[in-house]
């Protein structure tokens, strides 16, 4: 430490060591003369400043315009102010004005608009164009490329629609072969479960899972992955619900491919005594919904040939309206779980496009705090594309019926793997609320929400949902191609929600093996129908 002493007359400046030793440096300040020592220190200070400026300049040069370190940033911010300069855009204002104001007719295929960046650059260099021509031709090229991109995107959505709504030949073959086996092979008609295991169907000490599907191969994968990862498979009871046409193939598959010691039940909807048309309002609503969508949406050809200004995502939504799954009772069946299983207290409902990757018995230990539905919320998480869904993502808040009742920023939750407390459910009016809003949507020309059963489910279960750990349910594997296999393998249940189902050729190749590894491709039915990994 040094001490600085200044005389009262300001004519002497003395620098001394902190310990009181005699003067170290003594500088005499004259009003009109400079001592050589003052000149020396001034030059020393100037040398230091020049070296600092040199370092800042070097940092700016090395790092470029877009990046800077903490030291370099000081130079970028202070340099222009010190030397009286301002950083300004080097793009001529004429280009901005033309791009913003000039009207360019959208080019068509075969027009003289540049088809690529290479053509554009070659044209500009050859013609020696000014800024205005440069901007006009650039805008024409971008408009053409946007039009091409839109057309390609719509075609992609059309092809995906066709692929996802058609039954692949191998799956159709599998159903036919199993139906034939059911009619000719007594083993394929064995009751499921066997009579001595029937009491387990209502035993609440066991873990009951419900799967509603008309897809035999999908059901086989769900069942195999569920039982295969169960630490106590003898405690697993799987209730498979299907429709009338799929009952024989489904029965034959599980009769010929037993999953003992787990218990498997296969029942068709028409086998439930209470499931008569007069007692299921959703059936009438589904018919009216089908008729309304047919008139409102039109066919796929009409949709694709719609207004050129319509965004591809809107076209995709209209194509999705034609999907048969939105008219399937299997999509609505979960709303009747308390009536379907009047003796059960708690069940886990599984969609047919999921794969189980861990033991699910801990789900029964989750305290739902009196709520009906244990589900994973979908408004927060690392994957912002999948985990960014709130009520406004599904419900139409421009409609007063929706905006008066709900908060658009409220977190949404996922169907596909849900823990349902049936005892708590029976004390609510969830089913009646579901029917009521289906009717309101029909009366509002299908304008209250997007397609599917999740939006009315979000409404019916509103206030009855308990959020569970996201580990239990990973979504988006049917439409998020950026998901890696390593990420997917960390979840207890992975869900191929979206069009790219794992049994289709349009499935994402890096994710499909997570599903196919639960299929025995040496099985005679699988092999006979040419179903491949």
Which stretches of 64-130 are DSSP H helices? 70-82, 93-101, 117-127
Indicate if the pLDDT at residue 285 is higher than 70.
no
Q: Please state, for a pLDDT cut of 70, what percent of the chain lies above it.
A: 70
Indicate if the pLDDT at residue 47 is higher than 80.
no
Are the CB atoms for 319 and 153 separated by under 8 Å?
Answer: no
* For residues 337-341, average pLDDT: 93
Q: What is the mean pLDDT of the chain?
A: 81
Indicate if the pLDDT at residue 287 is higher than 60.
yes
Supply the pLDDT for residue 2.
52
Residue 14: pLDDT band (50, 70, 90) is low
Domain positions in the chain: 169-268+330-529
Q: What is the pLDDT of residues 447-491, one digit of tens each?
A: 898 777 899 999 999 999 999 999 999 999 998 888 899 999 999
Are the CB atoms for 494 and 354 separated by under 8 Å?
Answer: yes
Supply the pLDDT for residue 524.
96
Q: What is the pLDDT of residues 513-529, one digit of tens each?
A: 999 999 999 999 999 99
CA–CA separation, 229 vs 214, rounded Å?
Answer: 24
Supply the pLDDT for residue 22.
47
Supply the pLDDT for residue 25.
45
Are the CB atoms for 388 and 411 separated by under 8 Å?
Answer: no
Of 528, 494, 493, 526, the C-alpha closest to 510 is 494
Q: What is the pLDDT of residues 56-70, one digit of tens each?
A: 566 555 555 555 555
Are the CB atoms for 493 and 418 separated by under 8 Å?
Answer: no
Q: Sheet containing 2-6: give its strands across.
A: 2-6, 12-17, 25-28
Q: What is the pLDDT of residues 384-425, one digit of tens each?
A: 778 899 999 999 999 999 999 999 999 999 999 999 999 999
CA–CA separation, 4 vs 9, rounded Å?
Answer: 15
Indicate if the pLDDT at residue 259 is higher than 70.
yes
CB environment 77-104: b (16+ within 10 A), e (fewer): eeeeeeeeeeeeeeeeeebeebeeeeeb
Sequence-ordered list of residues with C-beta below 8 angstroms from that of 128, at least 6 positions apart, any chain: none
Helix (H) or strand (E) holding 293: helix 281-297
Task: Pick the most confident of 9-23, 68-82, 172-186.
Answer: 172-186
CB environment 483-511: b (16+ within 10 A), e (fewer): beeeebeebbbbbbbbbbbbbbeebbeeb
- The secondary structure of 452-496 as a DSSP string is SSHHHHHHHTTT-EEE--GGG-B--TTT-TT--HHHHTTSSEEE-
Residue 413, strand partner residues: 377
Supply the pLDDT for residue 7.
55
Residue 21: pLDDT band (50, 70, 90) is very low
3-state SS string for 324-376: HHHHCHHHCHHHHHHHHCCCCCEEEEECCCEEECCCCHHHHHCCCCCCCEEEC
Q: What are phi and psi of 493, to 5 degrees?
A: -135, 130
CA–CA separation, 525 vs 256, rounded Å?
Answer: 11
Supply the pLDDT for residue 296.
46
CA–CA separation, 78 vs 94, rounded Å?
Answer: 30
Supply the pLDDT for residue 92.
73
Supply the pLDDT for residue 24.
43
- Range in 64-73, 223-232, 266-275, 347-356 with the lowest mean pLDDT: 64-73
Are the CB atoms for 466 and 374 separated by under 8 Å?
Answer: yes
Residue showing tokens 């800077």: 68
Supply the pLDDT for residue 374.
98
Residue 418, strand partner residues: 349
* For residues 346-369, average pLDDT: 97
- The secondary structure of 417-448 as a DSSP string is EEEEEHHHHTTS-HHHHHHHHHHHHHHTTT-S
CA–CA separation, 503 vs 144, rounded Å?
Answer: 37
Residue 266, strand partner residues: 240
CA–CA separation, 104 vs 141, rounded Å?
Answer: 10
Residue 238, strand partner residues: 209, 264
Name the superfamily (CATH) of residues 169-268+330-529.
Answer: Spore Coat Polysaccharide Biosynthesis Protein SpsA; Chain A (3.90.550.10)
Q: What is the pLDDT of residues 92-128, one digit of tens each?
A: 777 777 677 666 665 655 567 777 778 877 877 787 7
DSSP letter at 309 equals: T
Supply the pLDDT for residue 117.
79
Q: What is the pLDDT of residues 27-43, one digit of tens each?
A: 444 455 556 667 666 77
- Angle, CA 297 vertex, CA 296 and CA 299 arms, to 5°: 130
- Structure-model confidence comparison of residues 89 and 1, the more confident one: 89
Dig out the tokens for 284 from the structure: 């009438």
């Amino acid at each position: 430490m040094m001490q600085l002493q200044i005389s009262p007359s300001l004519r002497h400046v003395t620098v001394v060591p902190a310990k009181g030793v005699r003067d170290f440096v003594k500088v005499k300040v004259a009003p009109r003369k400079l001592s050589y020592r003052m000149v020396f220190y001034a030059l020393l200070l100037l040398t230091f400043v020049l070296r600092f400026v040199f370092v800042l300049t070097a940092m700016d040069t090395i790092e470029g315009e877009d990046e800077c370190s903490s030291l370099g940033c000081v130079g970028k911010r202070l340099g222009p102010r010190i030397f009286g300069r301002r950083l300004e855009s080097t793009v001529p204002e004429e280009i901005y004005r033309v791009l913003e104001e000039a009207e360019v007719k959208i080019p068509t295929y075969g027009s003289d608009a540049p088809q690529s960046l290479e053509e554009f650059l070659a044209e500009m260099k050859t013609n020696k164009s000014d800024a205005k021509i440069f901007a006009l031709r650039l805008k024409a090229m971008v408009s053409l490329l946007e039009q091409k991109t839109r057309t390609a995107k719509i075609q992609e959505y059309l092809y995906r629609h066709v692929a996802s709504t058609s039954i692949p030949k191998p799956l159709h073959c599998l159903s036919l072969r199993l139906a034939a086996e059911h009619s000719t092979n007594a083993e394929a008609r064995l009751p499921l479960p066997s009579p001595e295991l029937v009491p387990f169907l209502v035993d609440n000490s066991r873990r009951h899972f419900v799967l509603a599907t008309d897809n035999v191969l999908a059901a086989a994968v769900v069942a195999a992955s569920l039982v295969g990862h169960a630490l106590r498979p003898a405690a697993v009871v799987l209730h498979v619900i299907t429709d009338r046409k799929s009952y024989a193939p489904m029965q034959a598959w599980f009769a010929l491919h037993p999953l003992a010691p787990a218990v498997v039940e296969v029942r068709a909807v028409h086998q439930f005594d209470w499931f008569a048309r007069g007692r299921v309002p959703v059936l009438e609503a589904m018919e009216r919904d089908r008729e309304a969508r047919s008139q409102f949406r039109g066919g796929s050809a009409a949709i694709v040939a719609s207004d050129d200004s319509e965004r591809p995502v809107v076209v995709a939504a209209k194509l999705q309206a034609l999907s048969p799954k939105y008219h399937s009772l299997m999509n609505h069946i979960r709303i009747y779980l308390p009536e379907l299983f009047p003796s059960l207290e708690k069940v886990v409902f599984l969609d047919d496009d999921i794969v189980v990757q861990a033991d699910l018995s801990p789900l029964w230990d989750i305290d739902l705090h009196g709520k009906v539905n244990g589900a994973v919320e979908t408004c927060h998480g690392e994957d912002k594309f999948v985990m960014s869904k709130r009520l406004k993502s599904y419900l139409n808040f421009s409609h007063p019926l929706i905006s008066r009742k709900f908060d658009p920023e409220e977190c949404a939750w996922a169907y596909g793997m849900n823990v349902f407390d049936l005892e708590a459910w029976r004390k609510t009016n969830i089913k009646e609320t579901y029917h009521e809003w289906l009717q309101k949507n029909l009366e509002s020309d299908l304008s209250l929400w997007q397609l599917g059963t999740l939006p009315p489910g979000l409404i019916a279960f509103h206030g009855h949902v308990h959020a569970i750990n996201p580990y239990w349910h990973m979504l988006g594997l049917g439409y998020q191609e950026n998901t890696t296999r390593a990420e997917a393998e960390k979840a207890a249940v992975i869900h191929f929600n979206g069009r790219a189902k794992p049994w289709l050729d349009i499935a994402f190749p890096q994710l499909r093996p997570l599903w196919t590894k639960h299929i025995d491709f040496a099985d005679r039915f699988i092999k006979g129908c040419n179903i491949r990994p």
